[in-house]
Amino acid sequence: MIFIHHNGYNIKLVEASVVDKPVLRNMIQFYLYDTSEYNGKDPDKHGVFDYMFFDHYFTEHGRQEEGRLPILIQINDMLAGFALINTFSILAPQTPSTRNLADFFIMRKWRRRSIGKVIVKEIFDTWQGQWEVKQERENLSAQQFWRNVIHEYTAGAFKETDLNDERWNGPIQEFSNSGRL
């Protein structure tokens, strides 16, 4: 568990366990609903958005061999979002120190308070290595957020690649923070 104090807020980053799986599944619904504005995806006939690799974050194989790490975010002891990290890379050779911040979500009530930026920087500092962060082409606000945060975190020492192929459609920022602390 990681504790962060920021502007009077008590923030906790908690590694989600199997017990937390239903909570994270519910939080992902808010996230996927938000992203449907950009990607046009609809829920299934039961009103649920599918997250294809969700269960992989809670298997031994997913955690051990795929480096999947689900993190619940709490602010003042209330659920506020999540981060999903894995070791899959689109651009760089995949190594044990490759990190992909696959999905990051902060509930709307907590946005525009620098909380997301503080959390992301803590995540980057905690897990050293080669990082990739990607955004959907249509999600311009996410692109602006990530460019600003990563530029500030790396002092501009990052690379951005714009893909439009079967791997991804949108920008991907990559950087290394090995030895940063």
Residue type (1 letter), 82: F
Residues 6 or more apart whose CB falls under 8 angstroms from that of 16 comprise 23, 24, 57, 58, 70, 71, 72, 82
**Helix-strand-coil split of the chain, %, nearest 5:** 35, 30, 35
Q: How far apart are CA 95 and CA 99, in angstroms?
A: 9
pLDDT at 97: 77
Q: How far apart are CA 122 and CA 41, in angstroms?
A: 31
Domain boundaries, the chain: 2-176
Please answer whether residues 149 and 119 qualify as being in contact, where contact means their C-beta atoms are separated by less than 8 angstroms.
no
Q: How far apart are CA 158 and CA 180, in angstroms?
A: 14
In the CATH hierarchy, which top-level class contains the domain 2-176? alpha beta
Confidence of residue 181 (pLDDT cuts 50, 70, 90): low
Q: What is the pLDDT of residues 50-80, one digit of tens each?
A: 999 999 999 988 888 889 999 999 999 999 9
Single pTM value for the model:
0.93
